[in-house]
Amino acid sequence: MNRPLFFITAALIFGMVAAGFTSINYIPAFIILGVAVTAYIFLNKKFGQLVFLVFAVFGMALFSFQDTYVPKNDIRAYLQGVNAETDNKNGITAVKVLVRDDPEYNDNKTLFYGELISVFEKGREITGISGQVRVTLEKDLGFKPRYGDILYIKGKLREPEPPKNLGEFDYKRYLRYKQVFYTVFAKDTACEKQGSRIDNLFKQVSYGVKYKLLEVIYSSVPKAEADILNGLMLGNQRVIPDDVYDRFKITGTVHILAVSGMNVGLIGLFIFLVLKVFRVKRKAAAVITLLFIIIFAVITGAGASIVRATIMGCVVLVGQILEKDTNLINSLSIAAFILLLFNPSNLYDVGFQLSFLATFGIIYFIDWVEAKIKGMPKWLSGTLASSVAAQLFLTPVMADTFHQTSVISVLANIFIVPLSGMISILGFAMWLFGSWSAALGKIFGASIWVMIKFMMLIVDTLAKAPYAAISIKTMPALLVIIYYLFFIILPYDDIDIKLKNTGLKTVLGISLLICFPLHLLLPGDKPAFYALSARGVNAALLVTGDNKKVLMLGRDDYKNNFGVKNTLIPFLRYEGVNNIDKLVLYSVENSANIAALKRSFMIKGIAADPLSFARLDNDKGAVKIAEDYYIKEGSKTFLTFSTDGVDAAFGDKEILFLKSISPGIEKRTGCVIYSCVADKNAVLPLAKNNICVINSANEGFYRKPPPVEADNIWDLSEKGMFKYP
């Protein structure tokens, strides 16, 4: 066995996956470990299988331990038995936290993870509580907490809510994988610094370096391009505008805005080069570079991707110091093993999955792909091969997590990857010289500015291509197994399976060729009406009998596009929607909402009331709903658009999407009515003879009114997504 670490890590992962499927407690898991090892030693002499078994059971026990063990003074133990799902039932009105890492800032919010020091319940401070919380401060007066600050925050301790809509990001699970079980939300005016405590001096120094680097960036490059450079070099995606970020996603190049192996490799290359110019000896240069990449990992937040790359980089550098060759698969395995040892839940973290799968795919597949594309310059074939290899291994995860894949990713990456690499190298030079002299920083800043403008031109152009990104539904488990098996055995000779002279590779390949396009193209939707629990917008999707998609938006919050960005678009992607046959807009004031939908989907027709029509961008073929008119959509659904809303004949029922409630509507019976007006008094008369759907949270983003409790009223903010039938 020449890759023992890969074998051991595979065993560990196997055990953790097994634990994930069962709810076994850690004590029985350790007992099973002891019994299994003892039995195996007596019964079986095969060492390799014994090692696999030991590490598999160890992985199972480790995962179970983390999943089920709750320390005595943990906030979860303190709140055990209290129903914390509804407002303030746990009675905690304020918390005192230690800021655990460098907060993230954007125009509207400050976010950070805090270590609990104490909580305040009914005016009494309760100390000795431990645990982590995710804190969000709404930026009102620009208060900026820093690492090590001890903060008193007046805000309720809440469990994060599970998703209320299909396709929605599961924030509760995401935080759980980071061992965070509660959130605190407050305005920054409700936050007071009460001291500081630095537990990790190395972190503090690293963050000091980060602020200095940010100053150089923003004093050397104009803001719009500086934000992109901030994302590219430090992985800070929050400063990048939504529309720009979307274009990177559509072109499959968003990975350059996340710090990863490329950044680590470039830093290593640059530092080595600088040290070589100063004639520093190779081993000393390796040690210095090691220190720099560790600092870089800390200042960029130490996510799974950068930690993976840093560990692999460290293995290579230590190999140089010790004058030993390194195996990339073993380095990758060490990185996985260490990350899983510290936090087994990393296995289910999307960042971990994407990072390791992409790296494994590149290491495993790049030689085979490069051999098939001979005749190109080395830099082009290398970029193309790694792009293809990564894309192949990532597609099932992308389908399951984002329900989206980029069709032009390979083409886009040929341009963007080398360009972003060059920008990063010049960025390091800018940091180096700009730290001495602002004028020198601006010299490099100017070149970087031009290169970023050029890069954005390419991204903007490619993102406009029709179907540049397509929605892709979660692949069934069997299809995923066939998919990965095929690509794993593809570089090797076929395996005879004694089936009419065909090999395994051929069988898998044919199955994939038939099943994958079917999965992509077969329409899965039966006629249905979906109403979404979306913040800041009323949104509903009607899928007609002839599979036409009519998307209705009404009365949005002009200040934020959270609902469209984080709920509606993921839902449409989850449902495999690529085309919207009709987009209907009532009182949609936030043009960013319309733009986000147009970027993400092919919209064949728009109908808008006068207020929304004014927000359109001279769209050809858009119709202003100024008076009643009728559209017949196929033979099974008949749609009417009026100034009050949409009326759709839907089988034996009628579906109404109402911007406002006009007199006479209460006389309708047997309908499903979505009312954008969430006023209880207005809706109750309708609910007598119809099913009514409202979104009561839309009256205020953070000020949730009491839910409307009545028969036949479905309040989306309380009950989540509504579907008929």
Partner 1 sequence: MKLTDEERNILIAIVIAAAAGLIINIFFSYNNKIQATESVSAPMLININTASAEELDRLPGVGKVTAERIVKLRETDGLFTSADDLKKIKGMTMKKIEKMRKYITTEAAK
The encoded tokens of residue 10 equal 């595979």
**Amino acid identity at 611:** L
b/e code 450-460 from CB counts within 10 Å (16+ = b): ebbeebbeebe
219/662 with CB nearer partner 1 = 219
**Alpha carbon of 377 to those of 240, 285, 382, 383, 639: distances in Å?**
33, 31, 9, 10, 57
227/666 with CB nearer partner 1 = 227
Name the one range near partner 1 by CB under 8 A: 92-100, 121-129, 267-275, 594-602: 267-275
b/e code 644-681 from CB counts within 10 Å (16+ = b): bbbbbebeeebbbbbbbbeeebbeeeebbbbbbbbebe
703 touching partner 1, by CB under 8 A: no
447 touching partner 1, by CB under 8 A: yes
> Taking CB under 8 A as the criterion, which residues in 500-519 touch partner 1?
none
270/529 with CB nearer partner 1 = 270
Given candidates 214, 407, 465, 710, which one binds partner 1 under the rule CB under 8 A?
214
d(CA 374, CA 388): 15
- What is the smallest separation between the CB atom of 698 and partner 1, expressed in angstroms? 23
Pick from 490, 18, 704, 565: nearest CA to 249:
565
195 touching partner 1, by CB under 8 A: no
422/489 with CB nearer partner 1 = 422
719 touching partner 1, by CB under 8 A: no
Pick from 274, 210, 300: nearest CA to 308:
300
- What is the smallest separation between the CB atom of 540 and partner 1, expressed in angstroms? 35
- What is the smallest separation between the CB atom of 221 and partner 1, expressed in angstroms? 7
d(CA 720, CA 680): 18
- What is the smallest separation between the CB atom of 188 and partner 1, expressed in angstroms? 9
Bridge partners of residue 630, in order along the sequence: 640
d(CA 49, CA 155): 53
Given candidates 143, 169, 558, 701, which one binds partner 1 under the rule CB under 8 A?
143
User: Do 459 and 247 meet the contact criterion of CB atoms below 8 Å apart?
Assistant: yes
189 touching partner 1, by CB under 8 A: yes
Alpha helices in 179-303 (DSSP H): 201-220, 223-234, 242-250, 261-277, 282-299
Given candidates 109, 164, 176, 442, which one binds partner 1 under the rule CB under 8 A?
442
Given candidates 155, 434, 445, 554, which one binds partner 1 under the rule CB under 8 A?
445
209 touching partner 1, by CB under 8 A: no
b/e code 602-638 from CB counts within 10 Å (16+ = b): ebeebbbbeebbebbeeeeebbebeeeeeeebeeebb
3-state helix, strand, coil in the chain (%, to 5): 50, 20, 30
Per-residue contact string for residues 215-234; x = within reach of partner 1 by CB under 8 A: x--xxxxxx--x--------
- What is the smallest separation between the CB atom of 621 and partner 1, expressed in angstroms? 38
117/419 with CB nearer partner 1 = 419
Given candidates 190, 294, 318, 414, which one binds partner 1 under the rule CB under 8 A?
190
Q: Tell me the site size for partner 1, rule CB under 8 A.
A: 37
- What is the smallest separation between the CB atom of 426 and partner 1, expressed in angstroms? 5
How many Cβ atoms sit within 10 Å of the Cβ of residue 4?
Answer: 12
User: Do 571 and 168 meet the contact criterion of CB atoms below 8 Å apart?
Assistant: yes
Q: 725: cis peptide before it, omega within 30°?
A: yes
141/521 with CB nearer partner 1 = 141
> Taking CB under 8 A as the criterion, which residues in 407-426 touch partner 1?
422, 425-426
276/559 with CB nearer partner 1 = 276
271/607 with CB nearer partner 1 = 271
456 touching partner 1, by CB under 8 A: no
Give the three-state DSSP class for 88: coil
Name the one range near partner 1 by CB under 8 A: 65-73, 271-279, 482-490, 704-712: 271-279
- What is the smallest separation between the CB atom of 141 and partner 1, expressed in angstroms? 5
377 touching partner 1, by CB under 8 A: no
What is the maximal distance between C-alpha atoms in the chain? 88
Task: List residues near partner 1 by CB under 8 A.
Answer: 140-144, 189-190, 211, 214-215, 218-223, 226, 269-270, 272-273, 276-277, 279, 422, 425-426, 429, 442-450
